[in-house]
Amino acid sequence: MIKDSNWRPLPEFLTIRQSKIEGLGLFTLEDLPAGTDLGMTHIFDKRFHDQYIRLPLGAFINHHEIPNSEAVFSEEDPEIGSLKHIRIVTLKPIREGEEITVKYIINKLENPNWELEYEVTQ
């Protein structure tokens, strides 16, 4: 076991809980100001199917059409140096207990208007 490691799967101010959006989600344990860097979610590696290795922080972020955070593509990490990766940064202040959300698309949909059509029929 490495005793000097300060690595954690999630920052101390984030946790995983049941989400109203989908399954489990990422939630803040304290108020966060706009512009807070939540950390690295994916590391580029062309050997993988989607060319990224998903880290624990990236595993539970749910999609929202009006997100409170954004995915930022970067070539540098302040601690590691040169490393192509994706980070999450808050777009606005987020209150304690709120779910962290990002607008993203995982799969190309056969019908990209399915959400609009669903809302119209409700």
* pLDDT number for residue 88: 94
- Report if pTM > 0.85: no
Q: In this predicted structure, what is the pLDDT of residue 5?
A: 66
Q: What is the pLDDT of residue 111?
A: 54
User: For residue 112, what pLDDT is reported?
Assistant: 52
Which regions in the chain score pLDDT beneath 50? 1, 114-122
- Terminal CA-CA length for the chain: 54
pLDDT at 2: 54
What pLDDT score does 116 carry? 46
pLDDT at res. 90: 96
SS3 of 61, please? coil
Distance CA 75, CA 25 (A): 27
Q: What is the pLDDT of residue 118?
A: 40
81 contacts 120 by C-beta, under 8 angstroms: no
* Cα maximum dimension of the chain: 57
Q: What is the pLDDT of residue 107?
A: 52
* Domain 14-121 fold: Beta-clip-like (2.170.270)
- What is the reported pLDDT for 8? 75
pLDDT of the residue at 76? 87
